[in-house]
Amino acid sequence: MSEGVNTGVPVDVDEEGYLVDYHQWDESIAHTLAEKEGVGELTPDKMEVIKFMRTYYEKYGFYPIMRYVCKNVHQAKECVNEEFIDPLKAVKIAGLPQPTGEVVAYLERKVA
């Protein structure tokens, strides 16, 4: 645990900026994480992506395929890349646990 997220309530993040406790996430934390990641304002479209990612993770216990996210929120097939630049930033802002090396490699491959 390297630092807290300043939302008025103590929230711990790891060295990479991922929430230590996935269940502490709320929209105010998402806005703070987005600011720290340089994503800018969380528009309704961005929040729709974030919320779908969380719902999917809660239901299946795994990270969703990014194109599946976009399809299910009725946005362009590359919406995560367009809205967040980097899918790993979207994962972090969604408060999901830090992905394993295999997931990171897959997400980074999709960005390139």
Query: How far apart are the C-alpha atoms of 54 and 65, rounded to whole Å?
Result: 12
Cβ contact 49:83 at 8 Å? yes
- The residue type of 5 is V
Angle between helices 44-60 and 27-37 (to 10 degrees): 110
Query: How far apart are the C-alpha atoms of 105 and 41, rounded to whole Å?
Result: 27
Query: How far apart are the C-alpha atoms of 74 and 60, rounded to whole Å?
Result: 20
pLDDT single digits (tens) 9-65: 678 899 999 999 999 999 999 999 999 999 989 999 999 999 999 999 999 999 998
pLDDT single digits (tens) 83-103: 887 889 999 999 999 988 888
Mean pLDDT of 71-80: 90
HSE-CB at 69 with a 13 A cutoff on CA atoms is: 28
Query: How far apart are the C-alpha atoms of 24 and 71, rounded to whole Å?
Result: 27
Query: Considering the entire predicted model, what is its pTM?
Result: 0.84
